Chain A
Amino acid sequence: MMKNESAYFQPEIETLSVSAIRDLQLKGLREMLQRCMQSEFYRRRFREAGVSPEDIRSLDDLQRLPFTTKEDLRENYPFGLCCVPLQECVRLHSSSGTTGNPTVVLHTRRDLDDWATAVARCLWMVGSRPDDVFQNSAGYGMFTAGLGFQYGAEKVGMLTVPAAAGNTLRQIKFIKDFGTTVLHAIPSYASRIYEVMRQEGVDPVRDTRLRVLCIGAEPHSEEQRRRIEENLHVKAYNSYGISEMMGPGVAFECPEQNGLHIWEDYFIAEIIDPVTLQPVPDGEMGELVITTLKREAMPLVRYRTRDLTRFLPGDCPCGRHHRRLARLQGRSDDMIILKGVNIFPIQIEKILLSFPELGTDYLITLENKESNDTLTVDVELKELFTDDYSKLQSLEREITRRLRDEILVSPCVRIVPKGSLKVSDEKKAVRVKDLRKLY
C-alpha cells in the first residue's frame, strides 16, 4: 500500500464537487431502487404510493417515495427488508425492540467493507494515522459502535485495542500502558474516565499520549465537549451513527469542529417537519431522514431517524463538500439515550409490570453524578408484603438484573412505598425526568 500523505482517506471521493456528488447520488438512488424491488416489502410500498423506480428522474423526485420507519423494520422482522439472498449476508446486528420484535440489520460483505471505509474516512479526517494507537471503549457484539469502529480503525491500519465497554480502571491502565493516542468513548464516559484518572492520580498530559477523542452516540452540549477537551487535553470530534444505517460512520466532524459531514456518496439526507412530513426550508431544524445509496443487503428508503437537526449552510474550509449536519438537538419521540444505548420507557415499564409485587407507578430519573450518567427507577410496591429487609434487597436485585438484560444499562432500582410517587395524578403522567444538561 502506498503511504497516504493526504488529509483525506479517499481524496477522490471526499473532495468531489457538489454537482458531482448530486450526479453520483441520482445514479446511486436509481440503482438502489431497482435493488429494492427484490423485496416484497418495497414492492408493496411503492405500489401503494403509486410510484415505481423508473419514475425517479431527479433528486427532487425523492419526495415521491414513501418513508420507512422503525415500525416497518419491526413488523417485517426478521428478514422482510432483505433485498439479497440470505446466503449473501455475512453479518447481522439486532437491537432490542421496545415492545414486540427487535430490529434486524443485515450486511453483505460489500456492505461491511463500505462501512469500514466510511469509518476509516472519519477517523482519518480527524487525524488518525497507521502509527496511532486506537482504543475503543464501546460495547462490542450486537452494539454497532464496537465492531464498527474496530473495522474502521483496522482499515486505517492503527493498532486497535478492543477494550470494550466498562471497567474504567482497566481502560485507564491501557491508555497509559499502550500509549493510546485516539480514543472512542461516549461523552459521559469520557468525563468519567477523566474523573477516575483524577481519583487515581493520573495526569492526562503527563501520563498519557491521548490526542484525539471520538465522541458520539449520546447527545451532549458544546460546553460539555469543551470541558472534556480541556480536561483530557485532546481534540474531541462528534460522531453520528445509527444502527439501522449500519452504526458509526454516517456523519462525523472534520477538524473545523463545525458540523458533521454526512457521506453523501453513501447517503441522501433530508430534513423534514416531523408533523407535516414535508421538507423544511434549507437550514431549518427538523427530523433527519436518510436514504441509503449503496447498501446491498438492506437498503433503506427515506428512513425516519427521529433525530432532530438541521443542515449547516455554506462550504466547509476543510475541502469536503459533503453536507454538514448541526449537532443533534434531541428526538422527535420519547427515546432516551443513556451511555450510548437507546432506551424506550416502555421497555422499562414492560419489565416492571411483570413483577407481581410491584404497583403500576414508576419514575425514571436520568442524572449526571460525578460525571457518570445514571438511570434511577423508583417503583412503588403494590403492598408491603414483607418486613424482611433482605427480601426487599433481593427483589431490588432481581428487578435490576432483569432491567439490565432488557436495556443493557445497569439501573439503580429503588423500591418505594405505595403512594409515594404521584405520577398518575396528572393527565399525561411524567414518568421520565431528565436532569442531565444536554442541549
Chain B
Amino acid sequence: MYWNPNKECMSRDEMSALQGKRLHKIVKYVYHNVPFYRNKLQEMDLTPDDILTIEDIVKLPFTTKQDLRDNYPFGLQAAPQSEIIRIHASSGTTGNPTIVGYTRKDIGVWSECMARALTAYGVVRDDIFSVSYGYGLFTGGLGAHNGVEMVGAAVVPASTGNTEKHAKLIRDLGISGIACTPSYALYLAETMEQLGITRDQIRLRVGAFGAEPWTANMRREIEERLGLKGYNLYGLSEIMGPSVSYECQLQNGSHVNEDHFFPEIIDPVTLAPLPAGQSGELVFTTLTKEGMPLLRYRTRDLCSLMPGVCDCGRTSVRMTPITGRSDDMLIIRGINVFPSQVESVVLDMKEIAPRYLLVVDRVNNLDTLQVQVELRQEYFTATFDTPAAIDELSRRLALKLRSVLNIGVKVVLKAPNTIERSQGKSAHVIDNRNIQ
C-alpha cells in the first residue's frame, strides 16, 4: 500500500529529473529571498543558473546549526511573515532555540510525508491512533498528528505524561496504532503490566517510533511486550519534523521522502561527499520548502545510504539507522540537549562555579538528566547555611535549565572543587544509558 505511488515508486531517472528541477527552483527562490544564501552564493561565484541538475548540488555551500543560531529568529526565513502559519522550535546550542517557520503548503507537504509513512506502516482510516510525542513547539506531536488526520484515522492526541490514563485508553478505546519514542513505548509496556493490562486486552498493531536512537534489541522487546510491529520514523525539525524518512513493512532501512528532502552523506571532517554504502554525516537539502528552505543542512547524524532498491516497491533511497553523532548532542526523552546549553545557564549564575557535569540515566525506561554543579565557597555564607536557602538555589537553577532545555532536570549541588575539571568536551557528560 502506498499513499502516493507516483512519487514513492518513481523511476530513478524521473526522480533525478524532478529533483534537479526542484533544486534549481529552490536555489533561485532562496537566492532572491534569503540574503544569507544570496551572499553565500555570491561569495562562491554561483548563480541559480549554475545549479541545473541534482548532480550540481555538490557545488552548493553547507548550512549549519551555527548559521541558524546566527540568524535567530527569522533570518533564514524565505516566505513573508504573513504566509507563515506556524512555527516550531528545537534545541539550539545556547539559550536561543532553533526556529522553523512553515507556510500552509509546508504543513500540507509535511502531512503528506507523514501519511506516506503511516500508510507504509499499514495504518488506515479505521484505525484509532494515539500520538504520544510531546505537542507544542516540538515537531513530534503536531507533525505526527497532522499526518494521522490526513490518513483519516482517529487521532488521540495523548501527548506525553499521564501514562496510566493513556494505558487505560489504549485498552478501552481499542487503540491500534501509536507514535512515541521507543523508550516511552517500553515505559508504557511496563505501566500496562503494573495495571494488570495484558496483551490480549489491547489491539495495538503499529508503532511509529523515533526522535531518539534505539537498538534492534529494544525493537524486539517492544514488539514482544506490546504485541505490535515497530517501525522507525526519522526526522528533524530544521528539515521538517518526523517523516523525513520511514521504514516500510520490510523494516530494512528508512525510505527518504527524497522528492522533498535530498540526502547526501559526507565525510564530517573533509566535507567531501561519500559514495552510497559508506558511513558518514547525513546532509539534507529541502527541495520544496517555502517557509525556511535549507541548502545542504548538516544534520550531524551519522549513518549511510543503502545501495539498491527495496523489495517493497518503493524506489526511494533508504538510510540505515543512525549510529551516532558528529557533535556532542544528547537525545534525552526525544529532546535534543547540547552541553553548551547547560553551560550558558551555569555561567549565568553567580552562586555556582563555572563547572558542571551532566549525568544521563535510564530508569524504568525513562531518561533522567542530572546536572551536577558546585557551590561557590564565597557564596556559602552565614545567610546561606540552611536547607531552605540551598534548595531555593537548586530550584532556581532547575527552573532556568528547564526553560532553556525544555526538559525537567534534577540539580545536584556539590561542595566546592568536587567536580573534576573537564578535559575536552566529552568530559562534561556521563551517559549511563546503553543504546548504541
Contacts and interface: CB of A to CB of B under 8 A. Distances in A.
Contact of B172 (A77, A142, A168, A408): A77
Interface string A149-180: 01001100111111110011110010001100
Nearest to A168: B403
Contact of B154 (A86, A130, A147, A169): A86
Interface stretch (A90-98, A236-244, A300-308): A90-98
A86 B126 contact: yes
Given A78-B173, A92-B155, A161-B87, A408 B72 contact: no
Contacts of B12: none
A162 to B, nearest CB: 5
Contacts of B82: 130-131, 157, 159
A106 interface: yes
Contact of B162 (A109, A178, A408): A408
A419 interface: no
Contacts of A94: 156, 165, 169
Interface string A127-161: 00011010000001110001100100110011111
B82 to A, nearest CB: 4
B349 to A, nearest CB: 14
B137 A162 contact: yes
A213 to B, nearest CB: 19
Contacts of B84: 159
Interface residues of A, number: 46
Interface in A52-101: 77-79, 86-87, 89-94, 96, 101
Interface residues of B, number: 51
Interface string B87-121: 11000000010010100100100000000000000
B394 interface: no
A159 B406 CA distance: 22
Interface in B16-42: none
Contact of B85 (A104, A147, A159): A159
B86 A140 contact: no
B87 A159 contact: yes
B402 A92 contact: no
B142 interface: yes
A86 B87 contact: no
B162 A405 contact: yes
Nearest to B136: A164
A413 B429 CA distance: 34
B153 interface: yes
A162 B135 contact: yes
Nearest to A165: B136
Interchain residue pairs A-B with the least CB separation, the first 10:
A141-B159, A164-B136, A140-B135, A169-B403, A89-B154, A131-B82, A159-B84, A87-B126, A92-B156, A170-B403
Interface of A: 77-79, 86-87, 89-94, 96, 101-102, 104, 106, 109, 112, 130-131, 133, 140-142, 146-147, 150, 153-154, 157-164, 167-170, 173, 177-178, 405, 408
24 contacts: A87-B126, A87-B152, A91-B155, A131-B82, A140-B141, A141-B141, A141-B159, A142-B156, A147-B157, A154-B104, A158-B85, A159-B85, A159-B101, A162-B136, A162-B137, A162-B142, A164-B134, A164-B137, A167-B402, A169-B399, A178-B73, A178-B87, A405-B163, A405-B165
Given A147-B135, A157-B104, A178-B74, 14 more contacts: A86-B128, A89-B154, A130-B82, A141-B158, A157-B85, A159-B81, A161-B86, A161-B87, A163-B137, A164-B137, A177-B96, A178-B87, A405-B162, A408-B162
